[in-house]
Amino acid sequence: MYMAKRMTRLGTETAFEVLAQVNRLRAEGKDIISFAIGEPDFDTPQNIKDAAIKAIKDGYTHYSSSAGILPLRESIARYISKTRDIEVDSDEVVVTPGGKPIIFNSIFSCINEGDEVMYPNPGFPIYESVINFVGGKPVPLPLLEEKNFSFDTKDLQERITPKTKMIIINSPQNPTGGTLSYDDLKTTARIAIQNDIWVLSDEIYCNMVYDGKFQSIVSIPGMKERTILLDGFSKTYAMTGWRLGFGIMRKELATHIARIETNANSCTATFTQYAGIEALEGPQDDSLAMIGEFQKRRDIIYKELNNIKGITCLKPKGAFYIYPNVTEACRNLDLRDSKEFQQYLLHRANVAVLARSCFGRRNEGEKEEYIRLSYATSRENIIEGVKRIKNATESKS
C-alpha cells in the first residue's frame, strides 16, 4: 500500500527499542539491571490517584475543552506565574496528553518547510524527528562537556541565519543532566529578540534541580511573548502513564495549538486533568521526598562511575540522568564506539544503558564517546549495576 513520503522523515525514541531488548532478555531468564528508561520508579502519590478516582465517580468521564478544563488551566496559570515570576492567564495555557504534543504542535504551527530550527545535541530525539517530519531543517547546537554540557553562545550566534525560526532549549537536560546558566539564557534571549525567533523551552525537569536554583528563559524581560514553555506532570509527580502535560504561550498561538488538539486528540482525558489540579495544589511531600531521593542516588552513581577505569563523568545538576565519557573504556576494550559499548554491557554485564547515538547524530568534529544512565532506580540497583559495569569494563578476558 502507498505510504506518505513524510513517514520516511519520522524518527523514533530508541530508548524503547532498548527496553524491548531488555524485556526479551528478562523473558529468557536473564537478570538485567536497566538504566535505560527515563521514568520515575516511584508510584504516583495517593492523593493524586484519589482525586482521579473521585473525578471518575463524580462523572468527569466526558469530553472537555480541547485546551483543557478551565480549573486546571487556572491552576497551571497560578503555578507558572509563581514559579517563573511572570503573569500568566488561563487563555495562555493548553493542556495536552503528555508533553510531547507541545513539541509536535509548536513546531507544526510555527515552522514552514525549509525553516531552520536549532536544537540541543545530544538531546531528546523527538526534537529532530519532528523538525524533519514537518519539512524543517534541523540545525544541531552542540552541548559541550567542557562547558558543563551547555552550548557555546558564540556558536549559537554563528548558526543563526535568516531562515532560523526557532531555538529549542532544554534545562535541566536529557540526556546530560546539565543545566543552562542564567548568563547563557540571557544571551539566548538577546539573540532570539534581535532576530525575532521563537524559543521552545522544554522545562519538564524544572523541579529536579540539585545544585543552584532553576532558571527559566521565559522570566527574562521580552521573552514571554516569544517563548513556548513546555512542562508537565510525568516527572515531578511520577505520572508518566497518565499522559498529562501543558504548554504556556501567547494567546493567538494557544488557539492554534488547541485546534490541532481538536483534530488529533479531541481533548486530554478529563479525570486526569482533575488529578493534575490535585498534583499542583495538594500536598507536595511525596514529590519532594522523591526528588530528595534522586539527589542521593545522583551522588552515589556519580562517585561509583568515577571509580571505574576508563570512565569519567561530570556531576549532573538536574533531572535523573548522568552522562559519562566512556572514550577510554571503549579504547581499552577494542570497541568502536558507545553503541558497541552499550551492547557489550547488555550482553556481558547484564546492564542496560543508552549510547550517545540514541540522542542525535554526532556533531561535526565530535570524537568523544558517551553513554546515558538513568538513576531512576533503587540504590541497590545502582550499586550492583555499576559494580557489574566496573567488572566488565576493567577485565578483557
Q: Starting at the earlier edge strand, list the strands of the sheet with 371-374.
A: 321-322, 371-374, 354-355
Q: Residue type at 16? A: F
The answer to whether residue 32 scores a pLDDT higher than 70 is yes
Q: Mark 292-314 as b/e (b = at least 16 C-beta within 10 Å).
A: ebbbebbeebbebbeebebbebb
Contacts of 5 (CB under 8 A, 6+ apart): none
How high does pLDDT run on average in the chain? 96
Which positions ≥6 away from 318 have C-beta within 8 Å?
171, 172, 173, 177, 178, 179, 205, 208, 209, 210, 211, 214
Q: Give the whole-angstrom CA distance, residue 58 versus residue 130.
A: 38
Query: Within a 13 Å sphere around the CA of 392, how many CA atoms are in the beta-carbon half?
Result: 21
For residue 321, list its beta bridge partners: 374
Helix (H) or strand (E) holding 140: strand 137-142
Task: Kindly list the distances between the CA atom of residue 266 and the CA atoms of 2, 55, 257, 263, in Å, as whole numbers in the listed order.
Answer: 27, 19, 12, 6
Confidence of residue 71 (pLDDT cuts 50, 70, 90): very high
- 14 confidence band (pLDDT: 50, 70, 90): confident
* Banded model confidence at residue 1, pLDDT cuts 50, 70, 90: confident
Per-residue confidence band for 5, with pLDDT thresholds at 50, 70 and 90: confident
Instruction: Out of 3.30.460.80, 3.90.1150.10, 3.30.465.10, 1.10.3210.10, select the CATH number for domain 5-43+286-394.
Output: 3.90.1150.10
pLDDT band at 38; cut points 50, 70, 90: confident
Mean pLDDT to the nearest integer, 59-81: 98
List every span in the chain annotated with CATH 3.40.640.10: 47-281
Cell numbers that stand for 31 in this block: 537478570
Quote the pLDDT of residue 341. 97
For residue 93, the cross-strand partners are 248
Residue 81 has pLDDT above 60, yes or no: yes
Burial of 41 (0-12, 13-18, 19+ CB in 10 A): middle
Q: What is the pLDDT of residue 20?
A: 87
- Residue 2 has what pLDDT? 82
- The Cα–Cα gap between 60 and 53 comes to 10
Q: State the pLDDT at residue 157.
A: 97
Q: Are 269 and 97 in contact (CB under 8 A)?
A: yes
146-201 tens-digit pLDDT: 999 999 999 999 999 999 999 999 999 999 999 999 999 999 999 999 999 999 99
Q: Is a pLDDT exceeding 60 seen at residue 397?
A: no
Q: Which of 8-12, 138-142, 209-213 has the lowest mean pLDDT?
A: 8-12
* pLDDT exceeds 80 at position 80: yes
What is the rounded distance in angstroms from the CA atom of residue 57 to the CA atom of residue 363?
52
Q: What is the pLDDT of residue 19?
A: 84
- Do 32 and 351 touch, CB atoms closer than 8 A? yes
Contact 99/231 with Cβ under 8 angstroms?
A: yes
Q: Give residue 18's pLDDT band: very low, low, confident or very high (50, 70, 90).
A: confident
Please list, in sequence order, all residues whose beta carbon lies within 8 angstroms of the beta carbon of residue 207, skipping any fewer than 6 positions away.
214, 235, 236, 287, 291
Instruction: Return the CATH class of domain 47-281.
Output: alpha beta
pTM of the model: 0.96
C-alpha distances out from residue 149 to 323, 367, 395, Å: 10, 15, 30
Delimit the CATH 3.90.1150.10 region(s) of the chain.
5-43+286-394
Q: What is the pLDDT at residue 16?
A: 78
What confidence tens digit (pLDDT) does each residue in 87-105 have? 999 999 999 999 999 999 9
Mean pLDDT of 362-370: 95
Q: Is the pLDDT of residue 396 over 80?
A: no
